[in-house]
Amino acid sequence: MMQVLPIMTALDADGNGEISDAEINGSVAALKKLDKNKDNKLTAEELRPNFGGNRGGRGGSGIPDRSPASVTQPLKPLPPVAKQIAGFSSREILKLFGAQGRHGGTERELANYRRVFGFTDADRDGRHSKKEYIENGAYLTPQSRRGIFLASDSNNDGFVSEAEYVENRLITDEAKLIFGGMDSDGNNRLTSKELLASGNLKDQKLANGVFKALDTNEDGELVIPEYLRVWGRWARH
């Protein structure tokens, strides 16, 4: 049921099936998008799940795929990721944002990540196979799940271990929280002006260089999946 609730779709900006702190912070703007008749109220009809559409779109489950708008992905292949910008290494840049990456997370958060990992580990062998995560996954599109799987598979052995999954969650959840803190209008899109105004990168040349490196499709704004592609590479460097 949660997969088709309009409120879940609206709040879950990156489509990973969970509402992060960053997405909660942007909830006001997200909820306003559900007000179809623009009367500044949300009715039961506007919040009612949609069971229509292509009922075969999710393996015959009756649950349609997410709208492409909610899982926007850059169309261009990821270019070589800059390891240094304006004299700062990628590690130094992430520190300026306040990121701890794989070294962050409380024991409670780590335990929750391990619990969530177990939901998809159907054969209980301690790792996600491509079949378990990409083919049989419940969220996003197969293309998006493939991207997440490849980002998590740090040793490129074709499987994602619990440790790799936890590391990826530590990196991406923190990155989304930082994104949300910079997204001043809560529209789940980040401009160069918002990044500079956040004060994380006080040098304008550095801020512009970082934004350019993150903006891989060169459209002048960042969406979370696009932003995470480069951020994840930096965090693992």
pLDDT one-digit tens code per residue, 36-94: 777 777 776 666 654 333 333 333 333 333 333 334 444 456 678 888 999 999 999 99
In a domain, 64, yes or no: no
Q: What is the DSSP letter of 175?
A: H
Q: How far apart are CA 76 and CA 6, in angstroms?
A: 30
Same domain, 46 and 103: no
**Residue range(s) defining the domain that contains residue 19:** 6-55
**Alpha carbon separation from 64 to 49, 75, 139, 144, 184 (Å, rounded):** 11, 22, 10, 15, 31
Q: Which residues contact 237 (CB under 8 A, 6 or more apart)?
A: 83, 90, 91
Of 9-13, 123-127, 142-146, 187-191, the range with the lowest mean pLDDT is: 9-13
Same domain, 39 and 146: no
Q: How many domains does the chain have?
A: 2
This prediction's pTM: 0.66
In a domain, 68, yes or no: no
The CATH number assigned to the domain holding 224 equals 1.10.238.10
